[in-house]
Copies of this chain bind each other. A is one copy, B any other.
Amino acid sequence: MTLRPQARLTTAFAWWMSGVLLFAPSAGAQGSASAPAKDPLPAWYEGDSKRAIVAFVQKVTQPGGEGFVPAAERIAVFDNDGTLWAEQPMYTQLFFALDRVKALAPLHPEWKSQEPFASLLKDDVKAALAGGERGLFEILMATHAGMTSEEFERIVKDWLAVAKHPVTKRPYTEMVYEPMLELLTYLRANDFKTYVVSGGGVDFMRPWTEAVYGIPPEQVVGSMIQMKFELRDGRAVLVRLPEAEFVDDKAGKPIGIQRHIGRRPIAAFGNSDGDLEMLQWTASGAGSRLCLLVHHTDAAREWAYDRTSSIGRLDKALDEAKARAWTVVSMRDDWKTIYPVAK
């Protein structure tokens, strides 16, 4: 994986300030259940982005129309970090890994004097990650491997049940974008099959995507580590090994899609250069296509970042979106609400 987390979490004062604003009451944030029957996307302002989405769905579902696509071929793929849920100040999966290092530390006394763990245990994330991808890889393998697939699923669920985002103090599974939840529901109501296609770990996402996005485990594509089949007292288990298997990012995304789905999507949703090849792959099919980028333009309600961000950099893909007339959503201007109202 090519996660490049930003520096010290403790420098997040600006984010905290923006986070406070998230709790201001906002109109229209009650979810699609209370929406007028005619508007499937009530959290979206009327504008070019919403019009492009609705026009696309109407076109591909119009029987006999020139843009019609049979239901079985209505495949829609969504990046996760920064497209369906927040990715700042750091990918959620990395927060998970850091918490796991602390939880596992008593079993690893050697970590007190061994980088990157020693710095992590002193809450110095910047120093821990100074070694680049090698240190990150060690953190991920130490926390994501060595257990069975079922044990890992339980660990993820238990963590998500209590973990809170450092800025908003909300559970991570509430740091999802209400307008995108509406979009998922709208597409499924029109017989689309919706997939997550993320650089994040597939086994980190599957335990919660069904409850949060309505996307079942078998429709999640992501990065993978190696596994080994074993019989333990006659019972079959899969043991997670500390070796990378597949990185579902950049050119890996269309490959992951082809391996897993075997059909070219007709709609793709991303937010960063890591999604560019997925959008190109989607755009290059015949017939009706929708390619959409979420542009993080809302420093007040979420975060504002694009061409120079170390997380979720959006640079080449933004240029290509403009050149190809893909839909670029401005979070500030297109979305009435960002997160669902707290329950």
A65 in contact (CB, < 8 A)? no
Contact status of A280 and B202, CB under 8 A, knowing A220-B262, A262-B217, A262-B220: no
Which of A259, A277, A280 has the most C-beta atoms of chain B within 10 angstroms of its own C-beta? A259
A89 in contact (CB, < 8 A)? no
How far, in whole Å, are A314 and B322 apart by their CA atoms in the complex? 58
A231 in contact (CB, < 8 A)? yes
Contacts of A203 in B (CB 8 A): 262
Q: Taking the nearest CB of chain B, how far is it from the CB of A175, in angstroms?
A: 23
A229–B277 touching, CB < 8 Å = yes
Q: Nearest CB to that of A207 among chain B residues?
A: B262
Contacts of A210 in B (CB 8 A): 72
Contact status of A216 and B149, CB under 8 A, knowing A206-B262, A254-B238, A280-B236: no
Contacts of A217 in B (CB 8 A): 261-263
Q: Taking the nearest CB of chain B, how far is it from the CB of A259, in angstroms?
A: 6
How far, in whole Å, are A82 and B309 apart by their CA atoms in the complex? 53
Which of A237, A277, A284 has the most C-beta atoms of chain B within 10 angstroms of its own C-beta? A284
Chain A, range 228-272, C-beta contacts under 8 Å to B: 228-229, 231, 235-238, 251, 254-255, 258-263
The digit string for A181-212, where 1 denotes a CB below 8 A from any CB of B, is: 00000000000010000000011001000100
How many chain A residues sit at the interface, stated as a range, is 35 or more
Contacts of A180 in B (CB 8 A): none
A227 in contact (CB, < 8 A)? yes
Contacts of A333 in B (CB 8 A): none
- From B236, B251, B254, A281 is in contact (CB under 8 Å) with B236
Contacts of A151 in B (CB 8 A): none
How far, in whole Å, are A254 and B235 apart by their CA atoms in the complex? 13
Contact status of A224 and B259, CB under 8 A, knowing A236-B254, A236-B281, A254-B236: yes
B238–A284 touching, CB < 8 Å = no
A259–B202 touching, CB < 8 Å = yes
How far, in whole Å, are A246 and B59 apart by their CA atoms in the complex? 39
* 19 pairs, A vs B, C-beta closer than 8 Å: A75-B218, A203-B262, A206-B262, A217-B261, A217-B263, A218-B261, A218-B262, A220-B262, A224-B259, A227-B255, A227-B259, A228-B251, A229-B277, A236-B254, A236-B281, A236-B284, A237-B284, A238-B255, A260-B260
- The 5 nearest A-B residue pairs measured at CB: A217-B262, A229-B251, A236-B284, A236-B280, A236-B281
Apart from A193-B218, A237-B284: 10 A-B pairs, beta carbons within 8 A: A202-B262, A218-B260, A224-B259, A229-B255, A229-B281, A236-B280, A238-B255, A238-B258, A238-B281, A260-B260
